[in-house]
């Protein structure tokens, strides 16, 4: 008889004890670099524990961040400085964009957009997957949450279409559902990589780039940099998944008819849908043209949410009940400040100088390609894109720029490729366990497809992507 599974309380205690032990080892057993003060080294130990905690998850990420900030204050960081991340404009940009996404979901606008795409190109199983991906990409232009998009907005539609063809988890999954769910997940990672607002960690990484290597990343500059390789991945990824998990049903004339009937049931667009569509399109247009009018992107987002609140399209009670947005606000604001404080200790600089010495005499392009591949596949160890970015982007970007890689090339390649490896595993990002938990895709198929798609994405971004960045003058 197997031993009973440990209780959640016991798992939490074990995890917290492990983090405390890790802190003691780093702070007092690992030799401290001479360039880092004892206080700075303890701060680096606290930061490391928070990142490891986000991987093993004895507590939710927000709780870990609050504990980390508290520990930093106990270590001598002034309270106002420790909490300074919550005043950062980018933190407010993310939460406001997520509230706009809530309005799109509540009014039915996101569902209508998906149905329109399915009605247009959903005459085959592959066409349905492209319709879902086009919806995801459209929403990613202003919805910085892969979970809200793929799990909240698109998964219910994908499941309903699978069920139209009598495809349910279990023996009939291969008729349609296995392919649609796997393609939806892999496509979501591409959508994340294509936009500044594709994922909350993108905004975090852009902030770090500005502070670490003085490279400004804007909504429009990210779009231009990611557009060509991103569209190529959009074209290739569903096809690759289709070849690997070919559904039993490949022709789906019922899907456009289903979409048309659902749109008819929804009726004409309501007042709130029109207002939400106007806000979504207006905010996106102003973000896209920010280099012309110079309006701050967070100010633009605040204008958008202001319209939704003033018109009653989003009641304040709905805004305050959006727990996911406020949860992101807590961990994102805290992590952003932690990263800033860590950089001030000089730890990342020491790392870059130490590792950079190993590559003396090696062409920087060869070093960059090698590090990008390592950076990509280390995501097997992460259950969060954000944790991956926060742990590996700062030291790697400083290292690469230090050995001569053009700063913009280092920043955009690292930031874009931080999103794509989310498809490697069923835990690679927050939406993974949700889609995997539906039961359409086996663990073996999930990992097998994830690896093959990762090779396809790397082939695109490290060739076509680099060529496009050369055209743009990034290197």
| Segments making up each domain of the chain, as ranges | 82-475
Residue 4, pLDDT score: 56
Q: Per residue in 230-274, pLDDT tens? A: 999 999 999 999 999 999 998 888 889 888 999 999 999 999 999
Q: Residue 251 has what DSSP assignment?
A: B
Interaxial angle between packed helices 200-213 and 407-417, expressed in degrees from 0 to 180 and rounded to the nearest 10: 160
Q: What is the pTM of this model?
A: 0.82
Distances in Å between the alpha carbon of 18 and those of 32, 50, 53, 335, 384? 21, 12, 9, 21, 20
Both tokens assigned to 422? 């989310």
Q: Determine which helix (DSSP H) or strand (DSSP E) holds 44, and give its type and residue range.
A: helix 38-56
Distances in Å between the alpha carbon of 227 and those of 142, 193, 375, 379, 416? 15, 9, 22, 23, 11
Residue 297, pLDDT score: 84
Distances in Å between the alpha carbon of 285 and those of 21, 203, 397? 50, 18, 30
Residue 1, pLDDT score: 46
In this structure, the number of other CB atoms found within 10 A of the CB of residue 328 comes to 22
Both tokens assigned to 99? 């509230």
Both tokens assigned to 364? 């920087």
Residue 5, pLDDT score: 54
Q: Please list the ranges in the chain whose pLDDT falls under 70.
A: 1-7
CA 192-134-424 angle, 5° bins: 40
- Residue 236's contacts (CB-CB under 8 Å, 6 or more residues apart) are 456, 460
Nearest-angstrom CA–CA distance, 352 and 212: 12
Q: Residue 85 has what DSSP assignment?
A: G
Nearest-angstrom CA–CA distance, 109 and 132: 14
Question: Is 146 within 8 Å of 430 (Cβ atoms)?
Answer: yes
Nearest to 180 by CA among 129, 237, 146: 129
């Amino acid at each position: 008889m197997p031993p009973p599974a440990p209780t959640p309380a016991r798992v939490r205690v074990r995890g917290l004890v492990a983090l405390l032990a890790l802190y003691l080892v780093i702070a007092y057993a690992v030799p401290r670099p001479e360039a880092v003060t004892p206080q700075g080294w303890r701060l680096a130990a606290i930061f490391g524990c928070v990142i490891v905690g986000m991987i093993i998850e004895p507590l939710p990420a927000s709780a870990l961040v609050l504990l980390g900030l508290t520990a930093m204050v106990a270590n001598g960081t002034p309270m106002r400085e420790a909490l300074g991340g919550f005043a950062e404009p980018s933190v407010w940009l993310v939460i406001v964009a997520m509230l706009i996404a809530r309005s799109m979901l509540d009014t039915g606008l996101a569902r209508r957009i998906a149905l329109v795409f399915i009605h247009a190109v959903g005459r085959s199983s592959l066409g349905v997957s492209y319709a879902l991906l086009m919806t995801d990409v459209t929403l990613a232009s202003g919805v910085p949450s892969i979970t809200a998009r793929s799990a909240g907005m698109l998964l219910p539609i994908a499941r309903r279409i699978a069920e139209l063809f009598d495809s349910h988890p279990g023996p009939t999954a291969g008729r349609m559902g296995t392919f649609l769910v796997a393609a939806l997940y892999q496509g979501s990672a591409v959508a994340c990589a294509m936009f500044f607002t594709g994922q909350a960690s993108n905004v975090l990484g852009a902030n770090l780039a500005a502070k670490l290597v003085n490279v400004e990343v804007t909504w429009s500059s990210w779009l231009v940099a990611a557009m060509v390789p991103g569209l190529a991945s959009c074209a290739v990824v569903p096809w690759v998944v289709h070849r690997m998990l070919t559904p039993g049903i490949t022709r789906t004339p019922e899907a456009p008819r289903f979409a048309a009937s659902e749109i008819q049931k929804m009726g004409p667009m309501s007042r709130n849908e029109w207002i939400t569509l106007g806000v979504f399109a207006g905010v996106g247009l102003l973000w896209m043209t920010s280099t012309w009018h110079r309006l701050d992107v967070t100010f633009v987002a605040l204008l958008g949410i202001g319209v939704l609140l003033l018109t009653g399209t989003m009641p304040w009670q709905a805004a305050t009940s959006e727990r996911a947005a406020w949860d992101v606000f807590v961990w994102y604001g805290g992590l952003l400040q932690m990263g800033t404080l860590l950089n001030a200790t000089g730890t990342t600089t020491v790392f870059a100088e130490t590792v950079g010495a190993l590559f003396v005499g090696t062409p920087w392009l060869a070093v960059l390609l090698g590090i990008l591949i390592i950076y990509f596949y280390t995501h097997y160890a992460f259950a969060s894109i954000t944790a991956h970015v926060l742990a590996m982007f700062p030291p790697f970007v400083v290292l690469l720029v230090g050995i001569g890689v053009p700063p913009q090339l280092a920043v955009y390649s690292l930031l874009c490729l931080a999103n794509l490896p989310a498809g490697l595993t069923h835990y690679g990002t927050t939406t993974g366990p949700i889609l995997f938990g539906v039961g359409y895709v086996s663990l073996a198929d999930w990992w097998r497809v994830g690896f093959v798609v990762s090779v396809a994405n790397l082939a695109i971004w490290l060739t076509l992507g680099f060529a496009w960045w050369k055209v743009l003058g990034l290197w």
